[in-house]
Amino acid sequence: MSRRKVGLREHVEAVATGLKYLVKPNRITVYYPEETIGLGERYRGMIHYDWDKCISCSLCAMICPADAMKMYKKKGEKKARPGINYQRCIFCGYCVDICPTNALSFTNVHDVAYESLEEMVYPPERFVEEWVSPAEKEGAKRLKVVFDEERGLVHVPE
Amino acid sequence: MSSSVMKARLLSREGDESVYEVFIGPQHPASGHMRFIVRLQGDVIVGVDPDIGWVHRTMEKLAETKEALKAIPLFERMTIIDSQNVTIGYVRALEKLLGVEPPPRARYLRTLLSEMNRIASHLYGMGLSGIFVNHSTMFMWCFGDREVWIQLAEELTGARLTHAYSIPGGVRRDLPQGFAEKARKAIRYMRRRLEEYRKIFFDNPQVRARYEGVGVLKSHEARRLGVVGPNLRASGVRYDARLLGDYGVYDELDFVVPTAEEGDAMARLLLRGEEIRQSMRIIEQVLERIPEGPILAEKYLRLIPPKLREPALKEGRIKFPGIFANLKIPEGEAVARAEMGHGEIFYHVVSDGSKKPYRVRVVTPSFRNVVLFRYLPPGHRFMDFPAIYGSLDYFPPESDR
Amino acid sequence: MVGEILEIVFSPQFFGPVVFPGLVTVLLVLLTIIWVERKIAARVQMRVGPLYVLKPLGGAIQMLADGLRFFFQEFIIPETVDKLPFVAAPVVAMTFAILPFAFIPVAPDFIPYSVPYSMPVFLGLNTVIPLTIIAMAWGSNNKFSIQGGIREAYMTIAYEAALFTAALAMAITYGTLDFAEMVEAQGVPGILVNPLSAAVFFVAMLMSAGKLPFDIVEGEQEIVAGPFTEYSGIAFGLTMGIGYVQLYGFTLAFTLMYLSGWEPLIPFLHDIYPALGGVMLFAKAYLLMVFIVFLRSVYGRYRLDQALRLGWRRLFPLSLLSVFFAVVLRVIGVV
Amino acid sequence: MSVEDLLRRLEEKGLEPVDRGDVVSVAVEPHALREVAELLVEEGYDHLASVEGIDRPGEDVIEVVYHAESYSEELWGKLAEIRVRVPRGEPRVPSLIDVWPNALFLERETWDLMGVVFEGHPELRRLLMPPDWEGPPPLRKDYKVATEGVFVVVE
């Protein structure tokens, strides 16, 4: 790799490049929470649990690398069911991928906020709740990410 | 240079009362999660003592307490910006112990994500080298353009940074619809942007003044100090773990491992830019040549229940066979090396035949580059210190593990 | 009674230093130029910048919000500091940054303090500021601050000689040391008469105000905030403002010396009230400031020794050359 | 400088090197460590890739393993491994910092996390652990990490 000498010309070139973007900016800001990016179907977001499909095999809890997934067993009952602790979950998706009956599935909701740590623990009864993005509930506009040769990423309304 | 001279330059010196000691970090605009004890005489650095370990998590121990597969998302957290490259070495070591090879399509996909991660990692490093001389535009541009590659990786793997993509025997997701076109657009965009980077940063006389001739590492010194990655290649040593042919499909592709002779901070920056160009070449070739076929080794694929296997293959989403929760690692040892954005990562996995590895040794590129903080700054001015730091692309959580 | 007060208020001796171009305008400039700087940087850098404080105007009063926060934030005086210089220095610095405005003429017959040496007085008062900054650094009793103070001392050496000599060249060209007479003597803008002097003055002015690529004294990446590391609350607000106030003063001086000041005078405004004749002067100076703050998104920071070398090996010889050039121009009688 | 030369020279020293594909492994006694390391440097292994300790409480030893690496193209794919077994109660090996300068931080880390003393190392200070750390070195097997079960019983 050879290196060019630089001088006054490069000063001018640098200032000109700056001016170019001052005149024609290439912004990538998304005005969250007024707008939100609609995530793809592959997105590994919050996990949804289907009560009826679950066969209580406990593979999800066994493969969880962060000890987030636990099998909750009611006293006296035989069948244990998974519950998740979002304080620990790292969204690796191992539990979803190993589930033999597709009882666990990804949603594309990720922007959830909690008021207390206890709320982040989901026993099986709460684990079945449907996920809704809070921003979208408040009326955020969904945007789609489009790749563009000129501008890199462009966000257009879905 | 004899090793004794080299050693003398490496050792930390306390100095006498004429030495002015400055603590850079752990709370400092330019320290990262670490501390440097910088000793100055006037404006000239006489010694730097890097005090690392502020984000230490003893990952090697944690890996011993988990089933082998669970350590993949764990090790990702060493270098979250480069998570495919940081785990591929571990996955390769497990594959060697398990005696399983990924099918060709999986190897291509691994290469694809590796290079996307490398570009993102280099952009991160280049951005930091901008802000270390207070060039905020370079910082923002690199981080903004990195978003393009993160978005691509998200569409492939489902996660922005923590992909957990490679598993023993293959990968977890196949290419989504229309991926190649998006990637080609991203490449064309990046090529144009690299030219803009050149104008505003690499050829900016102010940046040249700060980085040229600073922190010169000669070729023989780089060899003896075991420096890795672009920092090594900028000193004229052609070595890249990708060339070992141990992982990915690099031996089937046409690309150049760039080197530079100067060995100064500027050479290290320019080299990263050149490596981004080469990585984009690799991605183009991968997208062109990727063969059809399964993305998980037959050995595990047939363990997936058939009623799950068919839809999974059609959707390009691998379901884990149940055995993955309790994978026994055969007794033995394996080493693996992989090239991350920051340099070569080394894994040594020892197994006693149980489900958990007996010992995992991981030496990360940033940890191997720590010696440079001792070796390079003495003799430079205090203001050169951030420039040297910025040129090394050092990542504290990776070093601390 | 009211008439007397109004007479005092609108007398150049009061209106100049306090309203325009002095204190009130300085505050307005501070509030807007920092916002402009942040917005420009954001535009170049793929971002939006300040937005949510007064959203319809793109966050235009962001600096007002920041200023209020500084004002009501506790001013912490650490136990280890030397209290008198620590507290007094920012105030003295701000005073000396405002004072030069008393010597800046804004229109032909609107000169607050008419002295035949307004140019050297203006530059001379500005040279006090580095001393107060060194006092801040020393009083802070902090390693980063002391490093910053030493840098300030070195930087003063780097730009001062070149700055004064470049200004001297213009004084020779116009045959006067007074800003007002300089403007009157400028048929052709000074920047075209002696571009060398203008270039040197421009760079030295950047160094003096500590703007990129010469924000060496603050040197965030090495010494956190340099001399201002220990400051908080309103005192930090003051220290942050000094550089911008200086910049404003210097751009006014640059406009007067090289960009033919208030010319072309707008007679209509000037007739209403003489100070309004300074609108052109202000507009030129403001545009120049906008260009200077724009440089933040193009450049990083030079090294201290590089700035020193630039000051002594390039700027100073060039400024001597510009003096020689001015003498030649005078001898052959061009001006 | 080739793998054959290395194997031959190690055998001449009366050692038994094993070629495991990507690694040439040789077990040595602590007193012969430095000599073998110097031999490796002469054969082109110019730096260390790793120093590690493997705790084996069953055999009451700590195995110190060095992986040397070379940037010379002919040795790229082959690491050189030196294994030294030292008693667990008093794990001492000579420091190799004079042979491989980049052992500086690798040895310091191994001392920090595994408690192996490298005699002659100039700065065996805490590196990754806090300066006031006490207790067994964290990578030893007698340092236990709390683990959880899979099941939770609820009312």
| D12 in contact with A, Cβ within 8 Å | no
| Nearest-10 Cα torsion for C231, C233, C237, C238 | -70
* Cα–Cα distance, B394 to B81 (Å, whole number): 12
Q: Is the pLDDT of residue B124 over 90?
A: yes
- Compute the distance between CA of residue A21 and CA of residue B140 in angstroms, rounded to an integer: 13
Residue pLDDT, tens place only, B277-322: 999 999 999 999 999 888 888 888 888 888 887 877 777 888 888 8
Secondary structure (3-state) at C61: coil
pLDDT at B283: 93
CA distance between the termini of chain A: 45
Q: pLDDT at position D54, please?
A: 92
- DSSP H or E run through A5: none
Contacts of A30 in chain C (CB under 8 A): none
Asked whether residue C247 is domain-assigned, the answer is yes
D151 CB near a chain A CB, below 8 Å? Answer: yes
Best residue in A64, A71, A81 for a mutation probing chain D (most D CBs within 10 Å):
A71
Q: How many domains does chain A have?
A: 1
A-D C-beta contacts closer than 8 Å: 29
Six-digit token string for C34: 């920092």
Distance between D100 CA and the closest CA of chain B, angstroms: 7
Q: Nearest Cβ partner of D102 from B225, B243, B350?
A: B225
Residues of chain C with pLDDT under 50: none
Residues of A in contact with D151 (CB under 8 A): 58, 61, 70-73, 80
Both structure tokens of B291? 């063969």
Quick one: pLDDT at residue B296? 87
The better pLDDT of the pair B14, D17 is held by D17
Can you list the alpha helix ranges (DSSP code H) found in B42-178?
59-64, 71-76, 83-98, 104-131, 136-157
Q: Which of A61, A71, A75 sits opposite D155 (nearest CB)?
A: A75
For chain C, how many structural domains are there in total?
1
- Could you tell me the residue range of the domain that residue D23 belongs to? 3-119
Per residue in C32-77, pLDDT (tens digit) is 999 999 999 999 998 888 988 888 888 888 888 888 888 888 888 8
Confidence of residue D120 (pLDDT cuts 50, 70, 90): confident
CB proximity under 8 Å: B 207-236 to A: 208
CA-CA-CA-CA torsion for B31, B36, B37, B43, nearest 10 degrees?
A: -60
Averaged pLDDT for residues B149-162: 90
Chain B stretch 291-350, residues whose beta carbon is closer than 8 A to a beta carbon of chain A: 305, 308, 317-320, 322, 324-326
Q: In C, which residues are within 8 Å of A17 by CB distance?
A: 298
Q: Which long-range contacts (CB under 8 A, 24 or more apart) does C180-187 make?
A: C180/C105, C180/C108, C180/C111, C180/C114, C180/C118, C182/C119, C182/C256, C182/C257, C182/C261, C183/C105, C183/C108, C183/C256, C183/C260, C183/C261, C183/C262, C183/C263, C184/C108, C185/C335, C186/C260, C186/C261, C186/C263
The DSSP output letter for B253 is: S
Q: Contact at 8 Å (CB) between B75 and B86?
A: yes
Rounded distance between C-alpha atoms, residue D49 and residue B121, angstroms = 22
Residue range A80-118, pLDDT digits in tens: 889 999 999 999 889 998 888 888 988 888 888 889 998
Best probe of the C interface among B40, B133, B134, by most C CBs < 10 A, is: B134
Burial of B71 (0-12, 13-18, 19+ CB in 10 A): buried
Cα angle vertex C136, ends C133, C139, to 5°? 150
SS3 content of chain C, % helix, strand, coil (to 5): 75, 0, 25
Q: Are B328 and B354 in contact (CB under 8 A)?
A: yes
Q: Which residues of B touch D99 (CB under 8 A)?
A: 3
The torsion angle over the Cα atoms of residues B197, B203, B205 and B206, rounded to 10 degrees, is 30
Helix (H) or strand (E) holding C207: helix C195-209
Question: ∠ CA(A22), CA(A38), CA(B189), 5° rounding?
Answer: 40
Residue A16 lies in a domain: no
Largest CA distance in chain B: 76
CB contact under 8 A, A66 and B73: yes
Query: Are D107 and D51 a contacting pair, CB within 8 Å?
Result: yes
Structure tokens of C291?
């260009």
* Number of CB atoms found within 10 A of residue A55's CB: 11
pLDDT band at B73 (very low <50, low <70, confident <90, very high): very high
Q: From the CB of residue B316, how many other CB atoms can be counted at a distance below 10 Å?
A: 15
* pTM (two decimals): 0.91
Higher pLDDT, A78 or B49: B49
State the nearest Cα–Cα gap between C276 and chain A, in angstroms: 31
Which residues from A are below 8 Å from C48, CB to CB? 27, 29
Residues C87 and C235: beta-carbon distance below 8 Å? yes
Give residue B1's pLDDT. Answer: 47
What residues make up the domain containing C99? 78-332
Interchain contact B71–A (C-beta under 8 A): yes
Would the CB atoms of D155 and A74 count as touching at under 8 Å?
yes
Assign domain B59-400 to a CATH class.
mainly alpha
Task: Check residue B351 and give its pLDDT.
Answer: 92
Secondary structure (DSSP) of D128-152? SS-TT--SS-TTSTTSPPP---SEE
Mutate to test the interface with A, among D145, D147, D152 (most CBs of A within 10 A): D152
**Residue B309 confidence (pLDDT):** 79
Share above pLDDT 90 across residues of chain B, in percent, rounded to a whole number: 41
CA distance B133 to B269: 13
Q: List the single range of B27-31, B89-93, D42-46 with lowest mean pLDDT.
A: B27-31
Q: What percent of chain C has pLDDT above 70?
A: 99
pLDDT for B79-91, tens place per residue?
999 999 999 999 9
Alpha helices in B35-103 (DSSP H): 59-64, 71-76, 83-98
Band of residue B120 on the pLDDT scale cut at 50, 70, 90: very high
- Determine the Cα–Cα distance for residues B257 and B272; give it in Å rounded to an integer: 11
A/C touch flag: 3 or more CB pairs below 8 Å: yes
| Degrees to nearest 5, angle at CA A78 with A75 and A83 | 75
- The confidence score (pLDDT) of residue A2 equals 67
Domain total of chain D: 1
> Is some CB atom of chain B closer than 8 A to the CB atom of C143?
yes
Q: Do C303 and B30 touch (CB under 8 A)?
A: no
User: How would residue B148 be classed by pLDDT, with cut points 50, 70 and 90?
Assistant: very high
Handedness of CA B49, B55, B59, B65 (dihedral sign): positive
From chain D, the residues in CB contact with A71 under 8 A are 150-152
Tens-digit pLDDT profile for residues B212-268: 889 899 888 898 888 999 999 999 899 998 888 888 888 888 888 999 988 899 999
Q: Is A146 helix (H, G, I), strand (E, B) or coil?
A: strand
Q: What is the pLDDT of residue C335?
A: 59
* Chains C and B physically touch (3 or more Cβ atom pairs below 8 Å): yes
The pLDDT assigned to D142 comes to: 86
Hey, of D19, D20, D71, D145, which one would you mutate to test binding to chain B, going by the most B CBs within 10 A of its CB? D71
Q: How far apart are CA A86 and CA A89, in angstroms?
A: 5
Closest C-chain CA to A17: C298
User: Do residues B150 and B161 make contact, with C-beta atoms less than 8 angstroms apart?
Assistant: yes
Contacts of A21 in chain C (CB under 8 A): 43-44
Q: Which chain B residues are closer than 8 Å to C46 by Cβ?
A: 140-141, 144
In chain B, where are the structural domains located?
A: 59-400
Task: Determine, yes or no, domain membership for D14.
Answer: yes
> Average of pLDDT values for B15-26?
82
User: Does the distance separating the beta carbons of B158 and A148 come in below 8 Å?
Assistant: no
User: CB–CB of A95/A70 below 8 Å?
Assistant: no
Asked if A12 is an interface residue toward chain C (Cβ–Cβ < 8 A), one would say no
Statement: residue B161 has pLDDT above 70: yes
Chain B residues with CB under 8 Å of C299 CB are 135, 204, 206
What ipTM was estimated for this complex?
0.89
- Rounded to whole angstroms, the Cα distance separating B401 from B76 reads 10
pLDDT of residue C39: 92
**Of the candidates A10, A42, A64, which has its C-beta nearest B205's C-beta?**
A10
Q: Report whether B194 contacts B339 (CB < 8 A).
A: no
C295 in contact with A at a CB cutoff of 8 Å?
A: yes
Cα–chain-centroid distance for residue D44? Answer: 19
CB D34 within 8 A of CB D96: yes
**Yes or no, beta carbons of D150 and A71 under 8 Å apart:** yes
User: What does pLDDT average to over chain D?
Assistant: 87
Substitution target in A11, A29, A32, A34 with the highest count of C β-carbons within 10 Å is A29
CB contact under 8 A, C44 and A29: no
Is residue D64 a part of any domain in this protein? Answer: yes
Question: Minimal CA–CA distance to A63: which of B130, B326, B321, B329?
Answer: B326
Among A14, A40, A43, select the one facing B204 at the smallest CB separation: A14
Chain A: partners with 3+ C-beta pairs within 8 Å = B, C, D
Residue whose token pair is 């623990």: A121
Which phi and psi angles does C80 have, rounded to 5°?
-85, -5
- CB of A14 within 8 Å of any CB in chain C? yes
Residue D16 lies in a domain: yes
Q: What is the pLDDT of residue B2?
A: 60
Q: How many residue contacts between B and C have a Cβ separation below 8 Å? A: 81
Taking an 8 Å cut-off on Cβ atoms, the answer to whether D154 and A74 are in contact is yes
Average pLDDT, chain C: 87
Question: What integer pLDDT is reported at residue B274 of this predicted model?
Answer: 92
Flag if C298 and A27 touch (Cβ within 8 Å): no
Tokens of B18: 């004429």
Closest residue to B322, CB basis, from A59, A106, A149: A59
Q: What range defines the domain where residue A59 resides? A: 41-128
- pLDDT, tens digit, 9 for 90 and up, residues B336-380: 999 998 999 999 999 998 889 999 999 999 999 999 998 999 889
What is the arithmetic mean of pLDDT over A42-50?
A: 89
CATH number of the domain residue D16 falls in: 3.30.460.80
Which pair of structure tokens corresponds to residue C215? Answer: 């924000």
Residues of chain C contacting B383 with CB distance shorter than 8 Å: 216, 219, 222, 303-304
Q: Provide the pLDDT confidence category of residue B138 given band limits of 50, 70 and 90.
A: very high
Let me know: does B341 contact B125? Beta carbons within 8 Å. Answer: yes
Q: Do A70 and D152 touch (CB under 8 A)?
A: yes
D2 token code pair: 């080739």
E strands present in C246-322? none
Q: Does the residue A136 lie in any domain?
A: no
In a domain, A117, yes or no: yes
Q: Looking at residue A52, which CATH number applies to its domain?
A: 3.30.70.3270
B18 φ, ψ (degrees, to nearest 5): -75, -5
C305–chain B nearest CA distance, Å? 9
Q: How far apart are CA B49 and CA A26, in angstroms?
A: 42
